[in-house]
Amino acid sequence: MSSGAPNDPVPFGKYYLLGLIARGGMAEVYRARPVVRSEAKPRLLAIKVMRPQLAREARFVDMFHREAKLAMMLKNRCIVETVEVGQHEGRHYIAMEYIGGRDLTQVLRRSQENQQHQPPRLPDRIPVPHAVFIGARIAEGLHFAHNLGDADGRLLNIVNRDVSPSNVRLSYDGDVKLLDFGIAQALMKFTSEIGILKGKFSYMSPEQIRGMPLDARTDVFSAGIILHEMLTTEKLFRGDTEFALMEKVRKAEVPPPSTFNRRVTPELDAIVLKALARDVMDRYQTASQLAADLDNLIAGYRFDPKELRQFMRQLFRAEYARELEDTETALTSEPGLPITISQTMRMPAATGRGMTPTDLVPLVDPAEVSAPATGTGGEPPPPALPAPLDDKPRGFWGSLFGKKKPR
């Protein structure tokens, strides 16, 4: 089966596919561009295509289209934009903006690799101002989703419930985008069985671990975990067993980030600990409150968002160079003979975690759709990943980066 490449476009309806960049439980994501170049400045897209075997299941098709309709409503600078929802020759797809860059999981992993390199390489951690800025943008995107209403102005009560580093995209231009609202719940329309845990234990709130009803404050807690890990380059919640990990999340005993990073100020410690309060009433009540406190702190650092762009291009120097080359090729190449997507795609054998163009794929369970993500051309798609709820992390960042072992 051919999924195209930057120099070998493959027709798919109104688009040319330019290579597979991500795999998830429900769908695969391809780099693409429109066949008809109507824009003065053409741009690349990411096309999420449902797996053909799942299209035979009405409930999966319904889930896919529910996600797509929700995503079409999420128009915010901190959320990946969904351009179109459609179907071609029985294949259901979602077209999204293409974000050239890396997800936060990859950024943390590369930072740790630089720390461990002898001699150490720079940058070897996310600078504090950068982490504060990223945290503020995550909170901004969450606040928008939490307060989204329908055509009649009624609040949809969207709760993401899967806010994690693999679902945060940092572009080479310094943008911060939330990926994958694939298991977001519009509680007005959809319900979830109490006790059915979705997402990843390490990034869940205490109330989510307990299987309690959730609201926007569970996403605030998850955003707090991400902020803590960016500041410390350490996993916040770890356990040798699933039960031990769940107990740590339930107790939510959180050391101040300054324990690991002396550059963290008391003011920033206080913000992080408030976001990670075990009791929801002691936590930030809205994501906008968290964003406001972080933005106020950024002013003191005199941070310029262009610094994040420079950081990303330096941290992924070779990958950025390949991205530029592949993007130019993808926008100018012409197709050969038409080739359709295979109806019998198979997941490759599981190997290491690796995070290439997603690892462009975040950790997923079979009910989830992979996050819209982008890749650096020429790299192979990531291997199939085991479900996180059934896995045991390896080392400090095992749950993020390493191959996992069954418990």
Residues taking part in catalysis: 162
CB 204 within 8 A of CB 249: yes
- Partnered with residue 406 across adjacent β-strands are 391
What's the CA dihedral at 286, 292, 293, 298 to 10 degrees? 150
C-alpha to C-alpha distance for 304 and 130, rounded to whole angstroms: 9
CA distance 21 to 46: 9
Let me know the angle formed at the C-alpha of 223 by 281 and 298, rounded to the nearest 5 degrees: 100
CA-based nearest residue to 294, from 164, 183, 136: 136
Under 8 Å between Cβ of 46 and 55 = no
**How far apart, in whole angstroms, are the C-alpha atoms of residue 14 and residue 85?**
12
Please state, in angstroms and rounded to a whole number, the distance separating the CA atoms of residues 269 and 175: 25
Neighbouring-strand partners of residue 16: 11, 33
Per-residue burial over 287-299, b = 16 or more CB atoms within 10 Å of its CB, e = otherwise: bbbbbbbbbebbe
